[in-house]
């Protein structure tokens, strides 16, 4: 898995990375944990770039399921961008 530290990138690099990674109608996997540490992985097709400075993406919820509840409880989530093969 490739990762980037946004503190080491300039605004243009962050923008190119984010806009190039999130193409029309992308699918992402969002991982969260509940307060007991149980990990949840869910596919999301409703997410997009909001800003490159600061680097922000958004995900949209259609129901208050595990991912939503876990984020509200722990204030943490990881959005995984996946390849077209996956």
Q: What is the pLDDT of residue 44?
A: 87
Tens of pLDDT, residue by residue over 17-48, are 877 776 666 788 999 999 999 999 999 888 88
Are 46 and 67 in contact, with CB atoms under 8 Å apart?
no
Tens of pLDDT, residue by residue over 51-70, are 888 988 888 888 899 999 99
Tell me: pLDDT of 84 over 80: no
Report d(CA 64, CA 42) in Å as an integer.
13
Q: What is the pLDDT of residue 22?
A: 67
Report d(CA 83, CA 86) in Å as an integer.
5
């Amino acid at each position: 898995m490739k990762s980037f530290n946004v503190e080491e990138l300039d605004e243009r690099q962050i923008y190119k990375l984010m806009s190039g990674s999130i193409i029309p109608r992308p699918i992402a996997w969002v991982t969260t944990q509940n307060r007991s540490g149980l990990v949840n992985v869910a596919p999301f097709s409703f997410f997009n770039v909001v800003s490159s400075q600061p680097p922000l993406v958004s995900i949209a919820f259609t129901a208050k399921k595990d991912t939503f509840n876990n984020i509200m409880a722990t204030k943490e989530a990881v959005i995984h961008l996946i390849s077209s093969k996956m």
